Amino acid sequence: MSVSTPKITLYRGWLEPGRHVWSPFVIKLEARLRFAGVPYETKAGSVRTAPKGKIPYVEVSQSTVEGGDNETAMTTQLGDSTLIIKSLVEWGVLPDVNDGLDRGKRATDLAIRALLEEKLYFYHTRERWTQNYYSMRDHVLSALPYPLRIVVGNLIYRNIIKTLHGQGTGRYTDDEIRMFRKEIWETVNDLLVSARAGDRAGDRRRPFWILGGDTPRESDATLFGFVVSVLVCTA
């Protein structure tokens, strides 16, 4: 039996080929694929058809040929950027970039990802959907005609406000959120300055990674996603 190389389709929420989208989770997943040189194609997709009800998600298609040249095609949808990466690592499509890390660095890697994905993400979501609502609405719902954009935008806004209040971020003032956000970015910057200082090669043109070493880790892909998301997002 022979198994073909899997075809990966990444659904990013927007088409915009050749450009980064606003979602840090999409950028993170694309970074993992690109770091490993894994080819993929992109489509817009929709949260209505996503397996976890959110962007990004992927479709992995693979065919097997058994005796007698009988070809069987199998397509699997995966949701949630972290679970997608874990599945692709288990299937041997992506390398395990955290392999070889000692327990301390594994814990640090997980803590960095949690700080960004479980803290900073909600602070940025609040900024985008409350302080820059119209920019965010018109970008996210750009495919809809304007009257419908108003209705759907209001529904999304109410749902996000409810989610942020339940999660806790919605209970803080704008100044408090700014303080929290600034503290996280300054802490990340300190980690990067330390990693750069510890780069034994000393070549400031070469890539360096937040945990040191010669190769990127899961935390690097996540951090790349958040940095680029902030740089490209006008909301």
Q: Of 90, 114, 130, which one is at a domain's C-terminal end?
A: 90
| pLDDT value of position 68 | 57
The three-class DSSP label of residue 27 is: helix
Half-sphere exposure of 206 (CA within 13 A, CB side): 15
Position 24 scores a pLDDT of 97
Q: How far apart are CA 226 and CA 76, in angstroms?
A: 27
In a domain, 97, yes or no: no
In a domain, 139, yes or no: yes
Query: In the prediction, which pLDDT does 69 show?
Result: 65
Q: Backbone phi, then psi, for 145, in 5-degree steps?
A: -65, 155
Cβ atoms of 97 and 35 within 8 Å: the answer is yes
Q: 64, 90, 116 — which closes off a domain?
A: 90
pLDDT of residue 149: 95
Domain total of the chain:
2
DSSP SS3 for 104: helix
Say what the pLDDT of residue 4 is. 64
Boundary of a domain, candidates 90, 117, 140: 90
DSSP for 161-195 reads HHHHHHHSGGGS-HHHHHHHHHHHHHHHHHHHHHH
Give me the residues of the chain with pLDDT under 50, please: 1-2
Pick from 2, 34, 160, 1: which is nearest to 10 by CA?
34
pLDDT at 116: 98
Model confidence over 25-35: pLDDT tens digits? Answer: 999 999 999 99
The confidence score (pLDDT) of residue 1 equals: 45
Q: Phi, psi (5° rounding) for residue 71?
A: -100, 130
> Any idea what the CATH number is for the domain that residue 29 is in?
3.40.30.10
121 shares a domain with 52: no
- What is the spatial distance between Cα 222 and Cα 110, in angstroms, rounded to a whole number? 10
Asked if 217 and 106 touch (Cβ cutoff 8 Å), the reply is no
Cis peptide before 56 (omega within 30 of 0): yes
132 and 83 in a single domain? The answer is: no
If asked whether residues 42 and 136 sit together in one domain, one would say no
Range of the domain at 200: 103-232
Q: Do the domain assignments include residue 202?
A: yes
Please report which helix (H) or strand (E) contains residue 159, including its range: helix 146-167
Instruction: Let me know whether 112 and 179 are in one domain.
Output: yes
